[in-house]
Amino acid sequence: MKTTLPKRNLTRTLFLGLMFMLLGTLNGYSQVVFDGSYTPGEYDEGDSIVIDPNASSTCDVNTIYAAVQEDAGEYYLVLGIRNGNNGSAIFRYYFNTISGEGCVGETFKNIYYPVDSADIVIEIDVSKDNAYAVYNWDENSQDWVSDGAEFGTHIGDYTASDGEFSEIRAPLTGSSNITDLCDLGSDGNIHLAQYIAFSGGTTSSNVCSARSIEFSYNVNGNIDGSDAYCEGANTETVLTLSGVYGSVIKWQESYDLQVWVDIANTTNTLTTPSNLYQTTYYRAIINSEICPGIEKPTGVATITITPKPSAIVTNETICEDETYTWTVDGVEYLGTDGDTTVHYEGANCAPDTILNITVNDEPQPIVTNETICEDETYTWTVDGVEYPGTDGDTTVHYEGANCAPDTILNITVNDEPQPIVTNETICEDETYTWTVDGVEYLGTDGDTTVHYEGANCAPDTILNITVNDEPQPIVTNETICEDETYTWTVDGVEYLGTDGDT
């Protein structure tokens, strides 16, 4: 699919934009030597973009550099391109100068490649000096048309003898200039959008690489210093206009990029107010030194104001005998220091972090006092632990959390008193009822010992029953007639013969 736009000269857009971007403020030019090789520092006054830091083949681009060179009063745009390796390949670099217009994509060997509405193509052979072509998109033929501009290209080295670097130079001024510097683009922006590389000497060879670049320029100048602040911070910022060969008429500011308010300032720097409360945009209006009377807006600098997020607040209540360790700073804060507030300012517009400690008076403890004997134990309902009297006097103290009262157990252990012992002897045919428990104990059960533990350190109560064998009986044998009686001296009872044998 192809789209058209009015025919444009390459130099009217691309090189004009690069020139104004890279000339520097009032004659700040680079020290580029157009020899095809890279020298550290020669592009410092220009700009660059890293495409693929891991590029390793001829078809891959590592970095693209751009700068303006002054030579004997003439000015040239120099593009430096570092490839991943040396070798033979054709590169087509696609530029668009008006967003949304131009060639949308191209097809090579039945494969479609988007080119982001490009209207300019620079085609170079990275294996040869001065092997290049320049094309403009033509609205009538719906195709690329040769520009015929006079370029120069050199193939050289990024580092000694590696053959990975190439440079393109295009004249910007003088009798052989390739552009009308006074014909500024409508919006001042150009965009190096895409490259397609071909392995071999022509574009009919196989495509070996295709990649988006996204390298943008403003033909009227750029403003350095865009920054971002958190709401309420000091927003004073120095903005510096670069890439302008000419003079500043005024600066402007806007909140919406639609309505612009003039600022009386004709220098190449502007200091923003320190109390900006919303995102604000700045630009300059320039008058070209080469083309007097032409006023154009520069690129835009943005001072972004981010609303301050709500603070992260930790509220803690402790007692005066407690401490609190905050995970934010690892500090242990003492209740004895009283109420405390700690405030950490959030960096880079992160939320502030606040700790509020409220210290309450310690409540009276809940105390349990227990007395047991050394042979007793006590189980505390607070912790379910059984404490033996054999451990002696014991105190257990639990700190109340969140200012709850402490809980204390005091166990006093007394010596065990002498037991109260009841010793009883019965015969095996007898019983004994103990008044302590009201139980009737049988002699037939044999010797018996009963032991009751005295509660609350009262003496134990013990019953010892000794059971003796029953002795032989004392027998009195008496014979009487049925009309007689007998009185037994043992019980004094008169027994009658009429009652029969007894």
Who wins on pLDDT, 455 or 407?
A: 407
Tokens 């550290």 sit at which residue? Answer: 40
Residue 18 has pLDDT above 50, yes or no: no
Per-residue model confidence (pLDDT) at position 16: 43
Confidence of residue 292 (pLDDT cuts 50, 70, 90): low
Task: Name which of 241, 191, 198, 242 is nearest 213 in CA terms.
Answer: 191
Q: What is the mean pLDDT of the chain?
A: 84
pLDDT bucket at 76, cuts 50 / 70 / 90: confident
Q: Which residue has the higher pLDDT, 374 or 382?
A: 382
pLDDT digits 0-9 by tens, 295-316? 888 889 999 999 989 999 999 9
Give the chain's radius of gyration (CA, Å): 54
Band of pLDDT at residue 169, cut at 50, 70 and 90: confident
For residue 247, the model assigns a pLDDT of: 86
Kindly state the average pLDDT of the residues 271-280: 97
Separation of alpha carbons 284 and 301, rounded Å:
10
pLDDT at 15 over 80: no
Mean pLDDT of the region 436-440: 94
Averaged over 171-185, what is the pLDDT? Answer: 53
Contacts of 336 (CB under 8 A, 6+ apart): 320, 321
Task: Report H helices in 11-77.
Answer: 16-22
pLDDT digits (tens, 9 = 90+) for 100-130: 678 989 999 999 999 888 888 889 999 999 8
Q: Which residue has the higher pLDDT, 201 or 378?
A: 378
Which pLDDT belongs to residue 146? 86
Burial tier of 337 (Cβ tally within 10 Å: 0-12, 13-18, 19+): exposed
Residue whose token pair is 């008193």 = 417
Residue 376 has pLDDT above 80, yes or no: yes
> Residue 24: pLDDT above 80?
no
Q: What is the pLDDT of residue 395?
A: 97
Q: Report the percent of the chain where pLDDT is more than 70.
A: 84
Q: Which two tokens stand for residue 471?
A: 């002795």
Burial of 308 (0-12, 13-18, 19+ CB in 10 A): middle
- 3-state DSSP helix/strand/coil percent for the chain, to nearest 5? 5, 45, 45
Least confident of 176-185, 295-304, 446-455: 176-185
In angstroms, the CA 335 to CA 338 distance is 6
Contact 416, 389 (CB under 8 A): no
User: pLDDT class for 334, splitting at 50, 70, 90?
Assistant: very high
Residue 13 has what pLDDT? Answer: 39
353 vs 212, more confident: 353
Share of the chain above pLDDT 90, in %: 51
Q: How far apart are the first and last CA of the chain?
A: 146
Highest mean pLDDT among 47-51, 168-172, 224-228: 224-228
| The pLDDT of residue 419 is above 70 | yes
SS3 497: helix
Q: Could you give the C-alpha distances from 124 to 33, 64, 215, in angstroms and in order?
A: 19, 14, 18
Q: How confident is the model at residue 373 (pLDDT cuts 50, 70, 90)?
A: confident
Compute how many other C-beta atoms are within 10 angstroms of the C-beta atom of residue 72. Answer: 5
Sign of the Cα torsion 284, 290, 293, 294 reads negative
Residue with the two structure tokens 């971002």: 228
Tokens coding 51: 């495409």
Q: Is this model's pTM higher than 0.75 or not?
A: no
